[in-house]
Amino acid sequence: MTRAAATVFLVGAAAVGIGTAVWLSAAPARLSVEVGPPPKSGGSSAGTPDLVGVTGCLAAACHGSPGTDALAGTWGPATWQSSGTCWMAADPHRGAYALLEATQDTPRRRPDRPTAWEITELLGQKRADGKKLEAYEDVRCLACHTTPALAHPDVDRDTDDAVERARRQRMRGLRADGVGCEACHGAAKDWVVPHTAWKGRDGHAELFTKYGMTPLYDVGERATTCVGCHVGAPASPGVPVRDMNHDMIAAGHPALNFDFGEYHRRLPKHWYERARVGGHDNAGPGSEARRWLVGRVAHAEAACRLLADRAARPVTDERSPWPEFAEFNCATCHHHLRGEGPTARPGVRGQMVWQPVWPATGEFGPNPGVAQAPQLDKLRDLVRVMGTRNKFPGRGVVGEPALAAADQLRQERLTLVKAPAVEVTARAKNAFPKLDGKPTDWDPVGQVLLGLAALERDRDPGKPPKPGFDPAFDAVRGHRDWPAALKTLAPLLP
């Protein structure tokens, strides 16, 4: 962990250097603003981003004070003053862009992780001039490896407008910050000054809305923000499509096995969780269970919206194949073929199984908490469309049920965010299926285990820890013998 943190820090430090250099080189262009036409109202044309950038938040008096306490695992109201420092030092989002700049000589960070250079070599995308399209030039990569708004194609286009040209140059420079503050908190131009004066707890929701700051204190909004990249999202105003598909996985990009609760837990926190606006309690009893369940529902919603978007793209779009194999559980195809008899796999033999956005879609059969929930009937319709036909569902038949399911899931998320902790915990516990030894594979088993672990973390500190998690994690990590792994999970069920 410390070694990983140190690596992140070094990468971060290097990127700061790059960022500064770009900033300096942009300075003369900024001077030309004086003689150019006056800035237009709104500052930006046709969705070109106008971000403050990480450096705008990191003044020593703002979020750039030393982060010793937070990095050591002690959080309090003062954590906010070192948010930027902590992020800079330890947050993996910091290095997201640096990964894209890999060259032929860049070693792999891990032996099992091909570099961006290797991946783009295989993807074979070409620029207009016929040369290789590098990862840092590819909107598909930039959309999640930097603050998504900065991936806007206009940023790379030339313009006659001197002010606009200067801004675009500065925006290109900001990409090197990685997935920066504004990626999650929202474009800061309008709130960077006012938010320093927001005091107390009341009226925050209104202020966040008024100034366009993302209300990350709301766990549902937080999860939705994460899944925009960690699952994917259709294009939205100013932000290009975020879609990491099977072509990219085949070329070497890791598959997105996102679990909001688990990722959230592992992230070095640069914030202080506390009861805040509208009674959102992110640190009290039951908050782990809520994070986990809300995260899974937000995940499912994002998956449905992405699916609808993929289905709606034109057949001529060469980067949007259909069927999109990334929609399906990897292991339904990628398994060994054993000599004796068919291999145990979930679902109908020989057919692909839609990705398990568990617990919304159980591979273990109906579970009482979710699969029969009347408010999620559209999701069950979608699962049928995606999984029960001999043919791949055509582009035309998927979009409508996917969007209907997404809307129901959104409603479910809003309900779960507001519901009392006791009720959410009860629903989380009820969402676990009976593990009746049905054939399974990595995806559902991993998802169940991470859910069980989230519930376990809600445990009363006075009670002894539940035994059996270590063997379960070992069994899932080893991913060899699924029936055996399932057996390790059974005693952990609530």
Instruction: With CA atoms as reference, report the closest residue to 428 among 232, 274, 260, 304.
Output: 260
Whole-number Å distance between alpha carbons of 170 and 176: 11
Helix/strand/coil for 328: strand
* In the complex, least distance from residue 350 CB atom to other proteins, rounded to whole angstroms: 3
Which C-beta is closer to other proteins: that of 40 or that of 335?
335
Binding of other proteins by 121 (CB under 8 A): yes
Which C-beta is closer to other proteins: that of 31 or that of 250?
250
Residue 391, Cβ density class (10 Å: 0-12 exposed, 13-18 middle, ≥19 buried): exposed
Binding of other proteins by 84 (CB under 8 A): no
Binding of other proteins by 478 (CB under 8 A): no
Whole-number Å distance between alpha carbons of 54 and 75: 22
One of 278, 321, 387, 494 touching other proteins (CB under 8 A): 321
Which C-beta is closer to other proteins: that of 268 or that of 321?
321
Site for other proteins in 243-262 (CB under 8 A): 246-252, 255
Q: Are 357 and 409 in contact (CB under 8 A)?
A: no
Q: Are 172 and 142 in contact (CB under 8 A)?
A: no
Whole-number Å distance between alpha carbons of 328 and 20: 43
Number of residues that bind other proteins (CB under 8 A): 42
One of 340, 436, 460, 470 touching other proteins (CB under 8 A): 340
One of 6, 13, 27, 122 touching other proteins (CB under 8 A): 122
Residue 366 has φ and ψ, to the nearest 5°, of -60, 135
Q: Are 127 and 133 in contact (CB under 8 A)?
A: yes
Binding of other proteins by 154 (CB under 8 A): no
Q: How far is CA 165 from the centre of its chain?
A: 31
Which C-beta is closer to other proteins: that of 77 or that of 314?
314
Q: Which stretch binds other proteins (CB under 8 A): 141-149, 267-275, 298-306, 347-355?
A: 347-355
* In the complex, least distance from residue 379 CB atom to other proteins, rounded to whole angstroms: 24
Binding of other proteins by 392 (CB under 8 A): yes
Binding of other proteins by 382 (CB under 8 A): no
For 339-358, give the DSSP string: SSSPPP-SSSTTS--B---T
Binding of other proteins by 391 (CB under 8 A): yes
> Residue 7 corresponds to which tokens in the numbers above?
């690596």
Whole-number Å distance between alpha carbons of 323 and 346: 20
Binding of other proteins by 315 (CB under 8 A): yes
One of 244, 307, 330, 406 touching other proteins (CB under 8 A): 330
Contact residues for other proteins, defined by CB under 8 A: 108, 110-114, 118, 121-124, 246-252, 255, 315, 321-325, 330, 333-342, 349-351, 390-392
